[in-house]
Structure 1
Amino acid sequence: MTKSKLDTAIDFAKNLFTTGAVFQTSRKTEREICTRLSREPRKIFVEFGMGHGNITRQVLKTIAPDAKLYTFEINPEFCEYVARTLRDDRLVIVNDGAENLLKHLEGQRVAGFVSSIPFTFFAKEKRLAILRQTYDVLEPGGVFSQVLYSKFHYKIFDQVFDEADVRKISTIPLEYIYHCRKRK
């Protein structure tokens, strides 16, 4: 059972600097952020910023039945909530930050990332370090998709990835999805 919009807003507001949002992402955004994920079998995927799991659920609907999703979340209460409400053998919940990605992947290559972490609140060096790590573990042709509430972040994604574009999702508040790719 998912949390009500009011309960989610309260949880997110209490954790604004780690969630970067007051409201959960829209259904349009959940679908759009997953549009570039591979549906090929036996692929590895990563989510940064699981929250209450609404994007997580969409990723699991999108990827192959034998794929694996590692989802990183620094809030232990959010991890416990999703572990309790979303049972899927493909899901590995990691109660840790995106900056510690390599420690949990154990050398595995990743087909795609989805992220809703609040890059706006991160120092430039931390943003770049996370994005460079992400790029390094992406398999050729792999994607990284990030939702933010500002259209002014294109430059940092273009600096790290081989291809980058941004899609505006007309919701309140406006959401922007940055789709990035590593060349084959």
Structure 2
Amino acid sequence: MEFFREGIRNLQTVGTLTRSSKQLCKGMIKHIDFEQAKVIVELGAGDGVITKHILRNMRPDAKLIAFEVNPKFCALMRAIQDDRLIVVEDSAEHIGKYLAEAGAEEIDFVVSAIPFVALPKELGRLIVGKAHQYLKKKGLYIQVHYSLVMRPLYNAIFGNVDTNFVPINVPPAFVLVSQKR
């Protein structure tokens, strides 16, 4: 219910009125090689529904840096008791600063639920560009959307986009996966 209320109050930053379904969470993280991943960054982590799926599969020595701008959601995420989780209450455009603070130079995987459709175009391009900049070669950028209108953004930055449809979610969703080459 709290997610629904926050979605109504802050639809531009939350991007939806419902939490991601278990099927969507699994559809997002199935692209992550958890045995190899040392640094995972989550953009637009919300109340932590995808975060918890990531943490359940991560190595004990891996780090998850989760960006969220909503203070209520950040408080919920901070309640997750896991030393591997670093909650960042700031915009994802500052990704480099927080990577350095965590002692990391590059990212293995980026998982994003930022509602880029609702953000200024320049900010969306900046955030995805920064994620690309810090992503290691062959690293994956994984993004959820409810339409394919933003697909050209990822294709322009990464030069490739694989599209996966997840029908069992409200609303049905697309998981877009791009690899840094």
Q: Distance in 2 between matches of 1:157 and 1:87?
A: 33
Using the TM superposition, give the Cα deviation of residue 89 of structure 1 relative to its aligned residue in structure 2, in angstroms. Answer: 0.9
> Does the 8 Å contact 2:106/2:134 carry over to 1?
yes
In the alignment, which residue of structure 2 is the partner of 1:111?
108
Paired residue type of 1:118: P
Instruction: Give the aligned partner of residue 32 of structure 2.
Output: 37
1:98 maps to 2:92:
yes
Query: Cα distance, 1:105 vs. partner?
Result: 0.9
Per the alignment, in what secondary structure is the counterpart of residue 126 of structure 2? Answer: helix
Residue in structure 1 matched with residue 13 of structure 2 by the alignment? 18
Work out which of the residue numbers 168, 175, 178 in structure 1 matches 2:176: 178
Match of 1:89 in 2: 83
Over the matched positions of the two proteins, sequence identity in percent amounts to: 31
Compute the displacement of 1:78 (Å).
1.1
Matches of 1:146 and 1:14 in 2, distance apart? Answer: 23
Give the structure 2 partner of residue 137 of structure 1: 134
Alpha-carbon spacing, 1:23–1:163, altered in 2? closer, same or farther (3 Å):
same
Deviation at 1:59, TM superposition (A): 1.0
Among residues 40, 52, 60, which one is paired with 2:47 in the alignment? 52
TM-score, structure 2 as length reference: 0.92
Q: CA deviation at 1:73?
A: 0.6
- The equivalent residue for 1:164 is 161
Contact 1:29 1:175 in 2 (8 A): yes
CA offsets per residue over residues 58-108 of structure 1, 9 Å max, x none?
A: 111222121100000111121112212x11110000010111111111161
Q: How far has the Cα of 1:10 moved from its partner?
A: 1.4
1:3 alignment counterpart: none
User: Partners of 2:5 and 2:30 in 1: how far apart?
Assistant: 29
Q: What is the CA deviation profile of residues 1-44 of structure 1, one whole-angstrom value per residue up to 9, with x for unaligned ones?
A: xxxxx232112221111110100111111011111112235611
Q: Which amino acid aligns with 2:3?
A: T
1 CA distance for matches of 2:119 and 2:5? 22
Aligned position for 1:72: 67
Give CA-to-partner distance per residue, 1:102-156, whole Å, 9 cap, x none.
1111161000010111100122221111111111111111011111111222111
Name the count of aligned residue pairs.
177
Unpaired stretches in structure 1, ≥5 consecutive residues: 1-5
RMSD: 1.4
Runs of 4+ aligned structure 1 residues displaced above 3 Å come to: none
Q: CA deviation at 1:163?
A: 2.6
